[in-house]
Every structure is written in C-alpha cells, then in structure tokens.
Amino acid sequence: MNDITAVSRHMAPEALMDRSALGLAAAAAAIRNGEITSEAYTAALLRRARTLAELNAFITIDEAAVLAAARNADKARAAGLAAPLLGVPLGVKDSYLTKGLPTSLGLDSLAHFVPREDADAVRAIKSSGALVFGKNNLVEMSYGLTGHNARYGQVKNPHARGRVAGGSSSGSAASVAAGLVPASLGGDTIGSIRVPASFCGVVGFKPTTGRWPRKGVAPISHTLDTTGVFARSVEDCILVDQVVTGEQAAESSDGGYGLKGARLAFAPRQFLDLVDSEVETRFRSVVRRLQDAGAEVVEVDLGDDFNALVQTATWGIFAHETMGAISEFLRRHDIPTTFEAIYEGLKPQLRQAWGHIVLPGGAGATSAEAYQTALDVSRPEIQRRVNTAFVSHGALVILQPTTPCTAPLIEEQATVHIAGQEVSYLALANHTISASSVGLPGINLPVGLSRAGLPIGLELDAPLRSDRTLLALARKIEGVLGAEPTAI
C-alpha cells in the first residue's frame, strides 16, 4: 500500500484513469518512449484494481513484487534494453503455472501452491519484457461458462455488477474490460475466451488449437484446449500473438480498413436458430455495415444436423479426456494433489456434473467407442461442412453472434433465458463450440451495447492455421465498425 501511495500521491485521479485506459500497444509505446514509467503505470493499475476489487477479477496480486518488477523494467529501459512489452503488466488466468506466484487452478486446496516453473506462454511474455500483474479468477478447473467460483467468489460483469462475466476465463475478461490490465492470457476449450469476451465487451482471440503453447496450463481436453488472449483491440491481440508465437503479423493488402473483395459467410439456420431478438438485430445490422464497406457476404447452410453433430461430438470429447488430462498434468508438474482429491473438493454442482460425465462409471460418460467415433468420424465430417464455406464459397471467415444472448443475471446462471426459452447455461457456448470442435481460430469483436447497456459480440471463425489472416481481417472489420468503449 505504501509503495503505491508513494508513487501516485501526486497524481490526479484523471491521470490514473487515463493510464488505465491505455491499450497494450499504446502502453508499451508510452513506456518505450519515456512518456510514462512502468512503475507509475503499474501503480495506477494497482490502485484501480483495489478500487474495483468487488469485481473479483483477481485471485492473487503481489503488489510489492509487481512494483519491484516495474522498477527493474525502468532500469532496464534506462540501460538501453528494448523489448516489445517492456514494463507492461498483463493479467494471467490462474490456470497457468507462474513461477514464484500462487497458482490455484480455481481450487481452495491449491490456494497456497507456488509453482517452480512458468507455463510456456507466461515465459514468452516475460521474455518480451511484460510483467505478471496478477492471477485472474476463473471457474474451478476451468469447468464452466458463467464465472462462478465457490472459493474465490463470483466474477462480476464490469458493465453491470448483477450480471455474469462469462467463463471460464472470467477474471481475465473482466479485468481487461474494467481497465485493470491492458491484456490478459486466458484459455478456451469450448468458448472460455470468446464467451466472456462477448459478455464483457472486449476482444478475445482463440488461436488455431495447438498454435500457442499449452505446456504448464491446467488442461481439460488435449484435443480441444487452446491458450489465447483478451485485449481492448485487435492490434493488441496481434502484438501478443507475435510475442507468443514469434510469427510476424500478416501484411494488410491495402494498408487501410477497406473490405472490398473480402468474402464473408454466415449460416443463419445454424447460428440464428436460438438467439435473442436484440442480438440477432444487431448481428444483421453489422452484416449490412460490412456489405456497405465492400464485403461480399454469402449465406451458407451447414446442414440440418450440424448443431447436433457438433454438440454431441465435442462435449463427448471434452468430458472423456478430462480425467486423464488432469491426472497427467498434476503428475508432470509435481502439483501436490490428485484428481480424486480435486473431485472430492469441488462445489456440489460441479462434483455432480463430473460424477455424471467425467468419471468412467458416470451415467452420462462417453464410452471409448463413442469417443473414437467422435474423433474419427464426427470431427472430419464437421470439418467437411465448414469447408463448404471456406473452400466451396471462398469465404475468409464465418460470421455469427458470439453468444446467443447478453450476459445473464448472476442469480439466473444455472438456467438462462434465450429467445423466450429457459435453457441450460451450456447454451451460452452454442456458437463458440463449432470452432472448438475442429480447432479453428476464432475471435470476438465487441459490436455495441444492448438497450440495457450490455455488450454484444461478433465472432469470426477462420480456416485452420489462417490466424494471421484472421487477425488482419478482424482489424479491418474493427476499423469499419468503430472501436467500442470497454473501460468501465
């Protein structure tokens, strides 16, 4: 507390607000150019994090350690060191191992576990000069879509405290939306980046599965798990993608935001079937704006059984791989617990769900035969269907509303209301699951607010390994639609 006060006692509240509003690239440039110091910037973010502690966006923030790291970054800059993210604090989902900083995986039993190593993605951002600001709250073991955690509290939506933030990377999305950090690392297996990004009104990027390193991140499914990032702009996602992968961004063909010649697809029968009317109206308005900007938008049909095929195969793979994936992760990284102990310590609703679909003897467990069919038959068929958009129709991306509704009320998160129907909260991932099923890269872009002031998201899904092209196109679309406010 005293360290922060010493740094910021002469700073007006407006200055603190201005600094917290900086995006990742802007903050990195300001520090690099000597316009601000890492220490002053970090102190401003810490002060804001304390002010907005009610959001429950973070489980752990070591204030003294992050301020010391900021001072060291300032010394390194003064000595001539140049690095892409030098001195910029980032959030990290608490499913990532962080050397010297507690990593709970969202569990009470691991509240004091301090890893001896960093996850590969954390090592990459540190190597670029970034600081780990703190560990973001999440759903226990990343198993949920609403942001509820029995031990560390419900993550609240910065746009409306009575609404969920989405999950499982709930704290990561909320912390970026609230201006606590300019970016945060998250994870996505079924929609755990894109769903909270949509609900919180930030950009959320899920790379092609396997393109970003996953070592050192608590898993659910080795087939589906993907690491990724939340930020306030596509430009900032591009910067983190370059840092983590070492790849350069795709060059813009025209150097501007024009969409002339870009062919985009959407599948109304598959992705507008169960959607709130306000979300559908905004989505169709966005499509018209993209057409007005020169894009060619083609309608495709992925088949009557597409959604059922995706849901059955993907959820089956998801649940079947959980026990083995977690057990191997605990063993490999010498984490002081067991799968059985984790299961016994879960909140009742989650323990019941694991007993039903994760444990081999569960009534809803996927058999070995059904699992193999999902891998060998269903996934290739899903890929063949989406290729009708990408190959047969020449589309760069498939467009859809990221979530079928805006953020539900916290007290109504077990069953949610979509288009007048009461459905399971799992329906929040009805749209994100299709990209996850076959590992496609996807990104959520904020496209405005509902009448109630809640964010609405647009998802772009692209062909496998076309991440740089997706990011370049997303940046153009963001330019056409205009930046939406995210800091609260």
Q: How far apart are alpha carbons 462 and 485 in whole angstroms? A: 25
Strands 455-461 and 397-401: antiparallel
To the query of whether residue 168 is one of the catalytic residues in this protein, the response is yes
State the distance between the two ends of the chain, measured CA to CA, in whole angstroms.
23
Give the active site residue among 142, 168, 170, 175.
Answer: 168
Q: Are the CB atoms for 201 and 484 separated by under 8 Å?
A: yes
The torsion angles phi and psi of 369, rounded to 5 degrees, stand at: -65, -45
Partners of 399 in beta bridges? 266, 460
Q: Are the CB atoms for 478 and 234 separated by under 8 Å?
A: yes
Give the active site residue among 8, 20, 38, 93.
Answer: 93
To the query of whether residue 434 is one of the catalytic residues in this protein, the response is no
Q: Is 63 left (phi over 0), alpha (psi -120 to 50) or beta?
A: alpha
Q: Are the CB atoms for 87 and 22 separated by under 8 Å?
A: no
Cα dist. 54→138, 232, 405, 438 in Å? 15, 21, 24, 37
Provide the residue type at 288 as one letter. Answer: R
Q: How far apart are alpha carbons 401 and 130 in whole angstroms? A: 33
Look at residues 32, 245, 63, 54 and name the one whose alpha carbon lies nearest to residue 155.
54
Partners of 230 in beta bridges? 184, 204
Which DSSP state fits 254?
S
Mind giving me the DSSP string for 9-72?
TTS-HHHHHHHHT--HHHHHHHHHTTSS-HHHHHHHHHHHHHHTGGG--EEE--HHHHHHHHHH
Q: How far apart are alpha carbons 195 and 203 in whole angstroms? A: 11
To the query of whether residue 466 is one of the catalytic residues in this protein, the response is no
Torsion angle (degrees, nearest 10) of CA 93, 234, 196, 97? -10
Give the active site residue among 192, 221, 378, 466.
Answer: 192
Which DSSP state fits 277?
H
Look at residues 276, 271, 282, 205 and name the one whose alpha carbon lies nearest to residue 244.
205
Residue 89 has a CB neighbour count (10 Å cut-off) of: 28
Q: Who contacts 238 (Cβ-Cβ below 8 Å, separation ≥6)?
A: 249, 471, 475
Q: Is 113 helix (H, G, I), strand (E, B) or coil?
A: coil
Q: How far apart are alpha carbons 404 and 417 in whole angstroms? A: 10
Provide the residue type at 235 as one letter. Answer: E
List the catalytic residues. 93, 168, 192
